[in-house]
Amino acid sequence: MYKFLAFLLFALVTITDGIICVSNLVPDQIRLAFAGDNGVSVGWHTYACPFSSKNPNPNPTVIYGLSPKALYSTSINANSSAYDTRNILKTSWFYSVELPNLYPSTVYYYQILSSSYVSTSAILSFISAPAVGDQSRTVNIATYADMGVDGLVEDIITGKHLFERALGALQKILSSVDFFLHHGDICYADDLVSGVFKTYEEAFDYCQTMMTNITSSRFYMTTVGNHEINCTNAPILNDLCSSDHKNQIPYSNRFHMPSKQSGGYLNSWYSFNYGFVHVISLSCESDFPNAPSGNLIDTITQVNWLKNDLTAVNRVVTPWVIVQCHRPWKGSIPLDDIIEGGFINCPSCQAAFEKILVEYNVDIYLTGHVHWYERICLNGTINTTNYVNPNGPVYLTNGVIGNPEAPNQVLASLRCWILLMPYLLSTGIRTWPY
């Protein structure tokens, strides 16, 4: 009897799902990331059927191969996850799978398979990373921080659609880009203005859907910014933020960085190789003494991991070492304007990381958080515009690509720096000598 009832209920739910899901659900927000030296991670998102929180794709699978007509390999390590998105009409599900053992520098085609109400994706493609140590060609990396969706008020203040214009500019250079580094503040879901006209989830979903052309064909490697942490940037929004919006939960569900392969933690700290470049991604938000956003684990694990990761780098194989982190600690702001929890320089980040980066001769330290572009020459004592095998980190602050808070004003010129104040032009493209 109970069994029969259970069966009836199950059938009812399934039928209800089926009726409400008359139009096919689609996999969207498709994202590529490196997953170890020979692996790629494919992530995506699908809404569940309305009024249902049931996973619409319990067996997420990507098929792939060397030709669109020969997708004979099947992904491994599938993961489905969801968090409380506070919308019973649209429960979001997030997926990730891995494509292992890829040949280097090879074009791969891939497709997300269908399931019950979810249709297949288009057949998409990417070029796998060169073999580690390959120095036979240039590596082109697109880097920035602080890009995210506008709200109506910002449209009025700063001009229309900074985010869409930035995307247009990125789309134009896409064919020459190998991979992206986005140093935090990824979509501005957690921001007053996007919140007024879009909820947290709407802002994130819109942003990531709009980015699919870019993120489904190029590796998109992120680090955590203050807007990805605890949903506290707009106090007025706090009641819209569920407990599932805290502790990096949306960021952890929506992105899949190679921390497993590099001994790191979540999407917070990890590293990867691309040809002759070793890239390290750090959290400038948490997990070091006096970190501006608190801690996920403790104050020593990340710092020890950084030292171990740098110790293991073979500079003959990967002579270039690049670090990305959200917050800068050098800049043209007068020293008495340094603010820890605000939007200026980050002394606690400096205390935790600078000595290590100098000791291990890291080449570039990439940050955002401040909404302008500024390049500080080496450690502040050497002034050059020619960075030929620089002896010590070059500090780059690059947070002006386009976001609802608009560019910051530069305040002072104290030392050796090279600075440009590039409001996005109508073409949306600015380039700088490097």
Interacting span for ligand NAG (CB under 6 A) from 64-72, 122-130, 338-346, 374-382: 374-382
Per-residue contact string for residues 267-286; x = within reach of ligand NAG by CB under 6 A: ------------------xx
Helix (H) or strand (E) holding 3: helix 2-20
Full DSSP string of 197-248: HS-HHHHHHHHHHHTHHHHTTSEEEE---GGGTSS-SSGGGGGGS-GGGSTT
**What percent helix, strand, coil does the chain show, rounded to 5?**
25, 20, 50
Interacting span for ligand NAG (CB under 6 A) from 22-30, 103-111, 189-197, 376-384: 376-384
Examine residue 252 and tell whether it contacts ligand NAG (CB under 6 A): yes
193-225 burial, b if ≥16 CB within 10 A, otherwise e?
bbbbebbbbbbbbbbbebbbebbbbbbbbbbbb
The SS3 call for residue 112 is strand
Q: How far is the CB of 1 from ligand NAG (least distance, A)?
A: 37
Name every residue whose Cβ is closer than 8 Å to that of residue 76 and which is 6 or more positions away in sequence.
97, 98, 99, 100
Per-residue contact string for residues 410-429; x = within reach of ligand NAG by CB under 6 A: -----xx-------------
Examine residue 172 and tell whether it contacts ligand NAG (CB under 6 A): no
Q: How far is the CB of 409 from ligand NAG (least distance, A)?
A: 20
Identify the bridge partners of residue 181 per DSSP, sorted by sequence position.
Answer: 143, 221
Examine residue 296 and tell whether it contacts ligand NAG (CB under 6 A): yes
Among 14, 61, 79, 350, binds ligand NAG (CB under 6 A): 79
Among 129, 142, 229, 306, binds ligand NAG (CB under 6 A): 229
Question: Under a CB-based contact definition with an 8 Å cutoff, are residues 249 and 84 in contact?
Answer: no
Question: Under a CB-based contact definition with an 8 Å cutoff, are residues 205 and 92 in contact?
Answer: yes
Beta carbon nearer to ligand NAG, 147 or 296 = 296
Examine residue 135 and tell whether it contacts ligand NAG (CB under 6 A): no
Question: Under a CB-based contact definition with an 8 Å cutoff, are residues 302 and 283 in contact?
Answer: yes
CA distances for 168 relative to 42, 157, 174, 178, 300, angstroms: 23, 20, 10, 17, 41
Beta carbon nearer to ligand NAG, 102 or 224 = 224
Q: How far is the CB of 277 from ligand NAG (least distance, A)?
A: 21
Q: Token match 């082109």: residue? A: 140
Examine residue 210 and tell whether it contacts ligand NAG (CB under 6 A): yes
Q: How far is the CB of 105 from ligand NAG (least distance, A)?
A: 24
Among 137, 160, 246, 355, binds ligand NAG (CB under 6 A): 246
Chain positions contacting ligand NAG, by CB under 6 A: 79, 81, 171, 210, 213, 229-230, 246-247, 252-253, 285-286, 293-296, 378-379, 381-383, 391-392, 415-416
